[in-house]
């Protein structure tokens, strides 16, 4: 079964291209990092050890070709709605809130959402109507 990750970016913010890429990367990584579990420290307590316990879909994605699709929404309201629908559907997801230090005049701003990796058919129920970025 095909597995993918979808990054949803707010187009209305008119972020610089590099900023968009960075925010999308944050969303992609955060979904995976949510599965990290702190276990212990080694080297006299100086080095934390984490374990990554993931779903079978995430494991398949990590062992595969990292399929990602980038789509967009036109408002914070739309972005938050997509995120809530993904959470309600039980999909792995992350919501990224930029601190506003470089582009948003020190105003924390929701910029993007990462959904998946999971089965494409499950994600498409949430993002299939959104346009490719």
pLDDT in tens, 18-56: 999 999 999 999 999 999 988 889 988 889 999 998 999
Distance CA 46, CA 125 (A): 44
Rounded to the nearest 10 degrees, the angle between the axes of helix 76-88 and helix 120-127 is 140
CB contact burial 8-35 (16+ within 10 A = b; e otherwise): bbbbebebeeebbebbbebbbebbbeee
Looking at residue 34, the DSSP 8-state letter turns out to be T
pLDDT tens, residue by residue, 102-133: 999 999 999 999 999 999 999 999 999 999 99
The structural domains of the chain, ordered by start, are: 3-126 (3.40.1490.10)
pTM of the predicted structure, to 2 decimals = 0.93
CB 27 within 8 A of CB 97: no
The CA-based diameter of the chain, rounded to the nearest angstrom, is: 52
pLDDT for res 128 = 97
């Amino acid at each position: 079964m095909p597995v993918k990750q979808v990054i949803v970016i707010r187009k209305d913010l008119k972020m610089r291209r590099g900023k968009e890429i960075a925010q999308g990367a944050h969303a992609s990584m955060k979904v995976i990092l949510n599965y990290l579990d702190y276990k212990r420290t080694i080297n006299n307590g100086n080095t934390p050890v984490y374990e990554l316990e993931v779903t079978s879909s995430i494991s398949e994605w990590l062992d595969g070709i990292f399929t990602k699709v980038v789509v967009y929404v036109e408002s914070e309201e739309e972005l938050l709605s997509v995120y809530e629908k993904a959470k309600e559907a039980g999909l792995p997801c992350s919501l990224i809130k930029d601190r506003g230090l470089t582009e948003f005049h020190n105003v924390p701003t929701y910029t993007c959402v990462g959904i998946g990796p999971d089965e494409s058919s499950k994600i498409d129920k949430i993002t299939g109507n959104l346009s490719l970025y």
